[in-house]
Amino acid sequence: MKKTTTYHPVCSSGGRIRKLLFFHNAVDSDPCQLQKEYDGLMHAFGPEVECFVVAPFDRAVPEENRVTGKKRVHLVPLRTERFTPGSSITRWTQDVVHAFSCKTPGGQDQLRLHYNAGRIDPAAFRELQNHIPGLQCLPMNEPRINGGNILIGGTGDFLMAGADLLNWYRRGLTGAARSAARIKLENQLRDKFGVMRIYWVNATEASGRLNGRQPFFHIDMYVSLAGQTDDNTELVFVGEIRNEYVFCNHSPEIAQLKEALDRTARWMENPRNHHGLKCRVLRLPVLVFNEQADHYGCYNNCLVEQTPGGRILYLPDFMPGLNGGKTANGTAQRIAAIQEQLRWKILKWNAGSVRFVSGGFFGLSRKMGSLRCMAKVIQRTGA
Contacts 24+ apart (CB under 8 A), 53-56: 53/22, 53/23, 53/24, 54/21, 54/22, 54/23, 54/24, 54/78, 54/124, 54/128, 55/23, 55/24, 55/25, 55/26, 55/29, 55/89, 56/25, 56/27, 56/29, 56/80, 56/82, 56/83, 56/89
Confidence of residue 206 (pLDDT cuts 50, 70, 90): very low
Selected residue with higher pLDDT from 383 and 143: 143
Contact criterion met (CB below 8 Å) for 165 and 124: no
Q: By three-state DSSP, how is residue 243 classified? A: helix
| Least confident range of 81-90, 204-213, 219-228, 277-286 | 204-213
Q: What are 69-94's pLDDT values in tens digits? A: 567 888 877 765 555 444 455 667 77
pLDDT for 369: 83
| pLDDT score at 8 | 64
Q: Residue 238: pLDDT band by 50, 70, 90 thresholds?
A: very high
211-220, 250-259, 359-368: least confidently modelled range: 211-220
Per residue in 268-326, pLDDT (tens digit) is: 998 887 778 899 999 999 999 988 878 889 999 999 988 778 899 999 999 886 444 44
Report residue 64's pLDDT band, with 50, 70 and 90 as the boundaries: low
Q: Is a pLDDT exceeding 50 seen at residue 187? A: yes
Q: What local confidence, expressed as pLDDT, does residue 82 receive?
A: 54
Mean pLDDT of 138-167: 81
- pTM equals 0.88
The answer, yes or no, to whether residue 60 has pLDDT greater than 70, is no
Residues 6 or more apart in contact with residue 290 via CB below 8 angstroms: 248
Show Cβ contacts of residue 227 under 8 Å, excluding neighbours closer than 6 positions: 13, 14, 234, 235, 304, 306, 311
Please tell me the predicted confidence (pLDDT) of residue 232: 82
User: What do you get for the CA distance between the two ends of the chain, in Å?
Assistant: 28
Predicted confidence (pLDDT) per residue in 254-277, tens digit? 999 999 999 999 989 988 877 788
Q: State mean pLDDT over 338-367.
A: 91
- Rounded mean pLDDT, 351-360: 91
Q: Given pLDDT bands bounded at 50, 70 and 90, which one contains residue 24?
A: confident
29 versus 383: the higher-pLDDT residue is 29
251 against 146, higher pLDDT = 251
Counting Cβ atoms within 10 Å, is residue 28 exposed (0-12), middle (13-18) or buried (19+)? exposed
3-state secondary structure of 83: coil
Average pLDDT of the chain to the nearest whole number: 80
Distance in angstroms (rounded) separating the CA atoms of residues 265 and 186: 24
pLDDT score recorded for residue 66: 63
Mean pLDDT computed over 132-142: 77
Residue boundaries of the structural domains of the chain? 7-381
Q: How much is the pLDDT for 325?
A: 46
Fold of the CATH domain 7-381? L-arginine/glycine Amidinotransferase; Chain A (3.75.10)
pLDDT value of position 119: 66
Whether residue 68 has pLDDT greater than 70: no
Average pLDDT over residues 81-108: 63
